[in-house]
A and B are shown apart, each in its own frame.
Chain A
Amino acid sequence: MCGIAGLIHRGKSSNVGSELQGMLQALKHRGEDSTGYALYGDTDGKNFIMRFKVGENVGEGSSSVMEDVSVYDERKKVVDQTLAEMGAKVVKEERTLPYSLRYEIDYNTKDLLDFSQRIESIPGVEILSMGKSLEVIKDLGNAKMVCDRYSLDKVVGTHAIGHARMATESGVDIKSAHPFWGYPFSDVSVVHNGQLTNYWNNRRVLENKGMRFMSECDSELIAVYLAEKMRDGATLEEGMKESLTGLDGVFTYFVATKDSLGMAKDTMAAKPLVLYESDDLVAMGSEEIAIRSVLPQEIDTYDPFDGEVKVWQI
């Protein structure tokens, strides 16, 4: 089933980590195999923030194979070495969990493709997000568990999207969890509720064009699809509108960039979405109770119609 939620504050920052946690926790009955956050925090914008993993969570319910922690240490060493070779200086390093790391990197480039390819050529290493504001945090369990594990409740920023997952199309693991980074574009992330039926056809075409897939989760296709459109010069909104016909199946998805948040709904309107919009806040989710967790007072909400695409700026 899965649930998605997102919010964007316009003209101000807020405690988006805590707010999104409340929204996703309200949707936990839609799936708690894994939960993911894409948080756009307040930063000085100088350094890249890279969230990456060197292994999988092999806890209860995981479909991943257990590895020794020493393997994670080895992979981290290779990542450090590769970064040094590329001239990327690690300014700050956090290792929240043995398999999950956050680096602040002083690196001057506009092309993250080569950078990402070199890091991800290291076996077992996957970049979860790369950007100057975006941080993707995803792990097994419900929203509160993930939030507590990564101390996300104090994150202040302008906007965020998240996903509560019931695994149906692929494994219970971090690599199949949402949000997906819009590789190799800085600060682009996607969450999706639904099922794409032309995943393999699209994947073959996109891989032939040089795009990269890390999982076998159909939702990853949306991130890759939009990234390819933007690579070819389309705006985010143009790419989203094209996706209504390019992607087959049922879907509601959110996509976020450094300064915007968008939603798209398939032409059959088969997946739910409730939306609240005011001058200073847009909040949306698979169910109204998600919005109620941040706006308990009586508010006007509505369901976007079939084939609708909307984008808001901060």
Chain B
Amino acid sequence: MANLKTVSKKSKAQSMGMHTEVLTGRTQQKFFNPDEAENFYYFGTYDVDFNKRTDLDVKDMTAAEANKEIDNLMSHGYGTIVIKNPQGKHSLGVGILNKLNLIFEGSLGYFGIGSCDGPIVRINGRVGWSCAENLMAGKVVIEKNAGSCFGAAIRGGDLICKGSVGARTGIDMKGGTIIIGGDAGAFTGFMMQRGRIIILGDVGINLGDSMYDGTIFVGGEIGSYGSDAVDAELTASDQDWLKRKLKVAEIGENFDVSKMKKIVAGKKLWNYDNLEPTEKKGAI
């Protein structure tokens, strides 16, 4: 191994296995470098006008047809799209890498709003399994209940369910915030690696099982703790943050956050470094 006291910062980082990679993607705005601005865009995104609004009835469309039409409308500058009659169809509103106001007048099936980066989505109904999986940025609000694997592997953004959610909410999440107005099922926060989950109601068994990092806040009763999930002190700054988030989420604004429980990883299972590569460089 190189002598870390004498080599340059770059060599030092490489010697420690940290490469000088250039991060891309808008969710990494914290590390945005203006000199590389031309690298920060997605191919196929559109300039849209939020005041340009249209309705799209998907009753007789397949999910693929509906998603293609949403893309087509964005390409014509529509910034607010209201989807009528989703009727529990799967995989609606997926892969949107654009600023967009997307409103669903009804319920979605599985995998709704998957792999999105940027849109603000409101669902005036319920969602099935794996809603907003891999969300990178944006805001998704569900007015009713949600199925299992809600917000699986999200990396950023705010994901809000005003009702109750099924099992494994926030499984494998790597960032962002999930807020639940009602109850949550078993294995909430299973193997989460970063980010925050707020549950105002009760939560099922094995909360935060095998979590690497991140924080879970629970307002109600906890069925049981998972492996390596432990209590932590709820600080004043936690409470301030919770109040702000609940207000922005249009949910539980008057909720007494001082009585919430805070659960974190005990870090007995994993020796996990939660820093971004760029943060690691700064830490050297």
Contacts and interface: CB of A to CB of B under 8 A. Distances in A.
A269 B90 contact: no
A269 B167 CA distance: 6
6 contacts: A288-B88, A300-B145, A302-B126, A302-B145, A303-B166, A305-B183
Name the residue among B128, B144, B145, B163 with the largest chain A CB count within 10 angstroms. Answer: B128
Interface stretch (A140-148, A185-193, A255-263, A291-299): A291-299
A301 interface: yes
A289 interface: yes
Contact of B89 (A289, A291, A298): A289
Interface string A246-288: 0000000000000000000001111010100000000000011
Nearest to A270: B167
B184 to A, nearest CB: 9
Given A287-B109, A298-B106, A298-B125, A303 B147 contact: yes
Given A267-B186, A268-B186, A268-B187, A289 B109 contact: yes
B107 interface: yes
A303 B145 contact: yes
A302 B148 CA distance: 10
B88 to A, nearest CB: 4
Given A274-B147, A301-B126, A287 B166 contact: no
Interface residues of A, number: 21
Contact of B145 (A291, A296, A298, A301): A301
A306 interface: yes
B87 interface: yes
Interface in B115-170: 125-126, 128-129, 144-148, 163-168
B163 A302 contact: yes
B43 to A, nearest CB: 31
B88 A291 contact: yes
Interface of A: 267-270, 272, 274, 287-289, 291-292, 296, 298-303, 305-307
B181 interface: no
B166 A292 contact: no
Nearest to B185: A305
Interface in B160-197: 163-168, 183, 185-187
Interface string B83-115: 000011110000000000000011101100000
B153 to A, nearest CB: 17
B88 A292 contact: yes
A296 B107 CA distance: 11
A270 B187 CA distance: 10
A289 B88 contact: yes
B148 A269 contact: yes
Contacts of B185: 269, 303, 305-306
A97 B6 CA distance: 86
Nearest to B88: A288
B205 interface: yes
A116 to B, nearest CB: 39
Contacts of A301: 107, 126, 145
